[in-house]
Amino acid sequence: MKSTGRLSATLLWKNGYCYRHEPTQEEWGQALHVREADLAWIDAHTTILPAEGPTDPPEELRRVNQAIGNNFIDDMLAAHGSDRLLLCQDQAYRALATQSLGLRASWLQPVLMVARDDGLLSRAEYDHAILSLIDFGDQVISIDSEVLVAATRQEEESPLGFDRVVSLLGGNRAEMLSHILVAVDFLGSICSEHRPELSTSKQTSLILENLIKRRTEWRGVIAILRRIYRERIGLDRELDKSILGWLNGHFLVSLEERSLPLADFGPGTSVERLSREALYSSSSSLALGVGPAARPPSD
């Protein structure tokens, strides 16, 4: 990573804006330090494996390798020959490896979850890793309320950090029950900490905005959120006041409205069914992003 003496600039798209960035000499030095530290860590913690399987790969896989490049399946062969887990963020690559060679494969987050549950990662280290993945642009991420709380604590360093994380909530393809459960647990956490009203109102606003985005049945989402919150955590008049103020401010209800609108909770309605399922659910984590379900995609 050597300086050529010529100016260098990068064009990037971030949070809806196009940026042109010219690195300073200090930034080049920091990048070089990170690169050298990464290489040192790799040298100390990795083992080089031969790209050889116990048997020849199937003919179809060899044709794919030849068409794309002669080293395309090296990672598969190394995992196959050493009987190790193939760790890869590319779902199509994992699917090809499992179907062609019968490999065990995973993306990074399940490995981080196991490390957290086994005590190899602290909760803070796990949250930091998940927030980093989101910051890098990963769209299929499983989060819980603690990840959202961790994002609020990083706002001083990165003001858009919480906005970026919470923007993965909701949407017309979301599995709303798990999304609402995470929102409820998060709102309960920040309300119990008695944070400044301004920051709590902003975070509540972003939760509501994202939960109901691209959805027509917003009354049902709000009703389920309030009912689950009341049953799990208790009545919170300040939260209800914030929700009503947000609905007023976004012209979803008239300014004369003095009580929150409720959806139909009658027997057999989708609102009643989802609410009942949520009250008996112990799960409050979800996978966010592409896909109709709010669970991590399976291979």
Least confident of 21-25, 68-72, 154-158: 154-158
Place 263 in a pLDDT band, splitting at 50, 70 and 90: low
Q: Is there a single domain that holds both residue 210 and residue 240? A: yes
Would 208 be classed as within a structural domain? yes
Is residue 139 predicted with pLDDT exceeding 80? no
Would 92 be classed as within a structural domain? yes
**Counts of helices then strands in the chain (DSSP H, E):** 13, 6
Task: Please report the sign of the dihedral spanned by the C-alpha atoms of residue 27, residue 32, residue 37, residue 39.
Answer: positive
**Residue 224: closest CA among 151, 277, 172, 268:** 277
Task: Please report the sign of the dihedral spanned by the C-alpha atoms of residue 230, residue 232, residue 234, residue 236.
Answer: negative
Radius of gyration from C-alpha coordinates of the chain:
24
**Residue 168: closest CA among 136, 134, 194, 122:** 134
Statement: the pTM of the whole predicted model exceeds 0.85? no
| Greater model confidence, 129 or 231 | 129
**Residue 204: closest CA among 234, 249, 258, 171:** 249
Would 1 be classed as within a structural domain? no
Query: What average pLDDT does the structure give for the chain?
Result: 83
Q: Is there a single domain that holds both residue 186 and residue 258? A: yes
pLDDT digits (tens, 9 = 90+) for 150-181: 999 876 666 568 888 999 899 888 888 899 99
| Greater model confidence, 24 or 267 | 24
Least confident of 20-34, 45-59, 257-271, 284-298: 284-298
Q: Which residues constitute the domain of residue 248? A: 123-288
Would 241 be classed as within a structural domain? yes
The DSSP call for residue 11 is E
Residue 62: what residue type?
A: R
Q: Is there a single domain that holds both residue 274 and residue 143? A: yes
Q: Is there a single domain that holds both residue 129 and residue 269? A: yes
SS3 26: helix
Would 297 be classed as within a structural domain? no
Would 87 be classed as within a structural domain? yes
Model pLDDT, residue 289: 39
* Residue 156 near residue 133, CB atoms below 8 Å: no
Would 295 be classed as within a structural domain? no
Structure tokens at 20: 């042109």
Would 52 be classed as within a structural domain? no
* Residue 144 near residue 178, CB atoms below 8 Å: no
Is residue 269 predicted with pLDDT exceeding 60? no
Number of domains in the chain: 3
